[in-house]
A and B are shown apart, each in its own frame.
Chain A
Amino acid sequence: MSDISNVSTVSGPSAGPPQASPNPLVGREVPSKRARVQAITSGKGGVGKTFLAANLAAALAKRGRRVLVLDADLGLANLDVVLNLFPKVTLHDVFTGKVQLEDAILHAPGGFSVLLAGSGLVEYSRLTPEVREQLLRIIETLAPRFDHILLDTGAGISDVVLYAVSLADDVIVLATPEPTSMTDAYATIKVLATQQRRHAIQLVVNQVGRIGEGRTIRGQLQLVVDKFVTPTLPEGSPAPALELIGEVPLDAGVREAVQQRRLLIELQPGSAPAQAIHAIAAKIAP
């Protein structure tokens, strides 16, 4: 859990300035036989992880990708609410062996697949060896059948969140311009860089007041990382680099979509935030 061997291959020696193109992370060819596993995490709750996961999944699906969203927020599932899906069969039943994994995979409105945790999973919010095994097994089993597996993690930096992130090829940290969200995003980045030796971390800034605010926030976070995190890493470790892969404008449409339990990119496809999510999808899946 402490060292993520598959990450070290991602950035490599060409990890230049995070904004530079061509970027070593995005645009990297997705191996045809295995999904790219991407964790969405934030530190602070309520910044839009599930909103991003669902809409990004739909945007990727529109680009012809096979996408699975896994509700890795094992304790407090929200994905069901956002997608307006209330299935009888959940991950809980898979964990307890009641149903086969296949039977728990649902088709979401946006043309992608979802695995919902269900509220019965509260007992699994502790990272037992069993939960580790199950999550790993599920991802390994499903990876060959999808192009992207998005892990919608819980809030905070719990063991479960860190473990879920450790299973991912890429980690997307979601923040808003709120100081509390930025602080928690920074704390998350710090933990990922020091404990998991992540040195390529993607950043999405949600609810920006104007385009460009995300870039400023990335710059600030990178500045603090360079000053306080990088020097604490063992000698020879690559410096952690934050890459801004999108900024999603604050927009009343988002609230409306969430309240109607619809996907924003379907309800208001032309809106600024919907366009921003399409742009993220285009970066992830060119």
Chain B
Amino acid sequence: MHTQTDPAAAPTDVPTLRLAPAMQLLQQSGRELPDRHNVGHVAWLQAVIDGLCELSSRDPLTGLANRRQFELALASEIDRVARAGEPALVLMIDIDHFKTVNDTHGHQAGDLVLKAIAKALHECIRPMDTLARIGGEEFAMILPNCPPSFGLAVAERVRKKVQGRPVAIAPGQQVTVTVSLGGAFAPQWVRSSAPLWIDRADQQLYRAKAEGRNRACLEQPTVSLVSAEEKGLLFGTSQFADFE
């Protein structure tokens, strides 16, 4: 992908490109670029492009992945699950009564809460997980290779982490916020679709909200599993008893 051609011979004539808006964006985000004369035009342009890609995949407030990046990650996870058959969990996370925080303490306090929760959520994930802010007060996690039996424990850990972390919104002033979580596993042996998977997790999120908030609800994934007991009865013997 990366061409190592001599910068002088590169076909890209940098001075004729309209780079000002891109430079402005990168500057505003605080991203540093290498010295154009040291690294050559091509490497420098690559750094500009990388910087823009990074910008367009991040949420500026929290620094988490944004919705676009989340959808890309979800699509590739669907491909992986369909291929490898590994279990994967999607968690939709919504701050409870976030509007009240904004209305009572102002939007700046709201932003602080969003940042603090983003940080708390980030402490709950593994390097291979994707954590994104996908809407105003809505976050999502993609957890590859998460066994169904761990799902609820993982979601609960996230919920407790947020609950136990009061947010300082002004000197001497703290608010405690909670989150509701809805989760769904990628369907077993199946190529799902992103909208459907999200929809299933969302339904669980609605359930968590309806059941009183500050809780985690997961779709029961066991429906298409065939237990050893069932197999035993199906074949009228215990020949499958050793299989899960």
B-binding residues in A (CB < 8 A): 75, 125-129, 156-160, 179, 182-183, 186-187, 190-191, 194-195, 220-221, 223-224, 227-228
Contacts and interface: CB of A to CB of B under 8 A. Distances in A.
B72 interface: no
Most buried by B among A126, A160, A194, A220: A126
Interface string B210-244: 00000000000001111101110111100010000
A221 B224 contact: no
Contacts of B189: 156-158
Given A128-B195, A191-B224, A194-B223, A186 B190 contact: no
A194 B188 CA distance: 15
A158 B223 contact: no
B233 A223 contact: yes
Given A159-B190, A190-B223, A179 B235 contact: yes
Interface in B182-203: 187-196
A157 B223 CA distance: 11
A183 B225 CA distance: 10
A227 B233 contact: yes
Interface residues of B, number: 24
B169 to A, nearest CB: 40
B196 A187 contact: no
A126 B223 contact: no
B122 to A, nearest CB: 30
B106 to A, nearest CB: 39
Closest 5 CB pairs of A and B: A126-B193, A158-B190, A127-B193, A224-B234, A224-B233
A160 B192 CA distance: 8
B180 to A, nearest CB: 22
